[in-house]
């Protein structure tokens, strides 16, 4: 068995969400947080100790000496005798708690980019099962400005310095490891999809049921000759848990295809209000990364976005993040 999931396998795992019925009462869970309550707190930041870092570096040295390729690595190839227990706590926080955390303190200033990638991948193997991020089996995405035009509405925006609207990725968890920061801007913006749902339920309960029916997701010309869009149900609720997949730009741009009808008045109202709630300053949480930070976010409980940024002129200093997708057991 491959140590990582293919793009298709990961998407199938992600969308295998239990379904009971439309949830018509607010959810009071740790995932229903408000940014205004967390902005002055730091209990969502995990700082690695010197002992933790030393254990990671021993595992990195061992796997590098053996010449194991990143994509062939298995958990046992990257042993973390002590830190593994803390990683299990991170997994519980992602799946049962707030749905996000920041791990701080990887010493990337003394590592090569290749070493940083291997260490990041090794940590990911203890957290879940990594997966490919596109049909070409890209395992670690490089989030950096490649010079593509941010004004192009169909460009992959993570390859630009432009802002990125709220979305979820096709994996249980997305991780971002910061290698270098921008000159200014580029804040990561996250909001609880559970809180957004609760607010929508309070303001327009008549719109909530539409979230349990499919929206068309634009595949942005990455369909290999297949259908240019796929139907995706935003919300599934079962056993006290709400799981949400939302992709603002890709839901909206699907109407460019000839076989996709325009949004109904109800659908337009839903999208506008849902995103309007998510963009309320008291609900979202902005954070700036430092080199060596890893942000881990549940794609079932969190919507994430990014503000635009100004980059450094020197290529060696340009903003650069490594993106990891993970499927969690169960």
Rounded CA gap, 121 and 143, in Å?
Answer: 16
Nearest CA-CA partner of 103 in 327, 324, 328, 330: 324
CB 238 within 8 A of CB 19: yes
**pLDDT, tens digit, 9 for 90 and up, residues 176-216:** 999 999 999 999 999 999 999 999 999 999 999 999 999 99
Domain count across the chain: 1
Please report, for residues 35, 38, 154, 278, 296, the alpha-carbon distance to residue 282 in angstroms, rounded to integers and kept in the order given: 6, 10, 30, 9, 21
Q: 63: domain CATH number? A: 3.60.130.10
For the record, the structure tokens of 102 come out as 């920041």
Sequential DSSP letters for 213-255: S-EEEE-TT-STTS-SEEEE-SEEEETTEEEE--BHHHHHHGG
**pLDDT, tens digit, 9 for 90 and up, residues 132-174:** 998 888 999 999 988 887 677 667 888 898 999 999 999 999 9
Q: Does 2 reside within a domain?
A: no
Which residue carries 């791990």 as its tokens?
103
**What is this structure's pTM?**
0.96
Backbone angles phi, psi at 217, to 5 degrees: -105, 115
Task: Give the structural domain span for 60.
Answer: 7-327
**pLDDT, tens digit, 9 for 90 and up, residues 242-260:** 999 999 999 999 999 999 9
């Amino acid at each position: 068995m491959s140590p990582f999931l293919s793009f298709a396998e990961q998407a199938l795992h992600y969308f295998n969400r239990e379904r009971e019925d439309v949830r018509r009462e607010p959810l009071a869970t740790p995932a229903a947080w408000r940014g205004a309550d967390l902005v002055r707190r730091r209990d969502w930041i995990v700082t690695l100790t010197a002992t933790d870092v030393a254990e990671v570096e021993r595992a990195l040295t061992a796997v590098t000496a053996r010449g194991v390729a990143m994509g062939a690595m298995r958990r046992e190839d990257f042993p973390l005798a002590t830190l593994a227990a803390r990683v299990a706590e991170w997994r519980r926080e992602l799946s049962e708690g707030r749905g996000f955390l920041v791990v701080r303190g990887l010493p990337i200033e003394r590592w090569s980019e290749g070493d940083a990638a291997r260490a990041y991948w090794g940590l990911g193997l203890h957290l879940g099962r990594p997966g490919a991020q596109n049909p070409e089996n890209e395992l670690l995405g490089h989030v950096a400005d490649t010079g593509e035009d941010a004004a192009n509405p169909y460009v992959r925006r993570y390859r630009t310095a432009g802002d990125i609207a709220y979305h979820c990725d096709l994996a249980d968890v997305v991780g971002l490891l910061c290698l270098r920061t921008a000159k200014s801007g580029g804040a990561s913006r996250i909001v609880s999809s559970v809180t957004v749902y609760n607010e929508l339920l309070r303001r327009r309960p008549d719109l909530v049921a539409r979230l349990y029916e499919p929206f068309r997701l634009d595949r942005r010309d990455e369909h290999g000759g297949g259908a240019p869009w796929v139907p995706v149900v935003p919300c599934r609720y079962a056993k006290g848990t709400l799981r949400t997949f939302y992709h603002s730009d890709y839901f909206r741009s699907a109407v460019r295809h000839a076989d996709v009808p325009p949004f109904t008045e109800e659908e337009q109202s839903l999208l506008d209000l849902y995103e309007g709630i998510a963009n309320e300053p008291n609900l979202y949480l902005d954070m700036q990364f430092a080199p060596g930070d890893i942000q881990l976010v549940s794609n079932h409980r969190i919507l994430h976005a990014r503000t635009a940024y100004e980059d450094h002129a020197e290529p060696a200093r340009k903003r650069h993040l490594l993106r990891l997708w993970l499927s969690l057991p169960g």
